[in-house]
Copies of this chain bind each other. A is one copy, B any other.
Amino acid sequence: MKPVLKVMTKEHTDSCARQQFADCRNCRLGALCLPIALATADVERLDNIVERKRPLQRGDHLYREDDTFRSVYAVRSGAIKTYHITDDGQEQVTGFFFPGEIVGMDGIGCGRFGGSAKALETTSICEIPFESLGELSMQLPSLQKHFFQLMSQEITEDQKLITLLSKSSAEQRIASLLLSISARNARRNLSDTRFRLPMSRTDIANYLGLTIETVSRLFTRFARNGLVTSDNKEIILEDLNRLRQVASVNRNRV
Tell me whether A42 is interfacial, beta carbon within 8 Å.
no
Contacts of A156 in B (CB 8 A): 106, 109-110, 114
Contacts of A151 in B (CB 8 A): 108-109, 148, 151-152, 155
Distance A162 CA – B144 CA, assembled complex (angstroms):
28
A165-B248 in contact (CB<8A): no
Q: Which of A8-16, A49-57, A86-94 contacts B (4 or more CB under 8 A)?
A: A86-94
**Chain A residues touching B, majority SS:** helix
B92-A206 in contact (CB<8A): no
> How many A residues touch B, CB cutoff 8 Å?
54
Besides A109-B156, A166-B209, 8 new A-B residue pairs in contact (Cβ under 8 A), listed by A number: A84-B163, A86-B250, A87-B248, A108-B148, A114-B156, A151-B152, A158-B158, A166-B206
Tell me whether A68 is interfacial, beta carbon within 8 Å.
no
Of residues 144 through 163 on chain A, the ones whose CB sits less than 8 Å from some CB of chain B are 144-145, 147-156, 158-159, 161-163
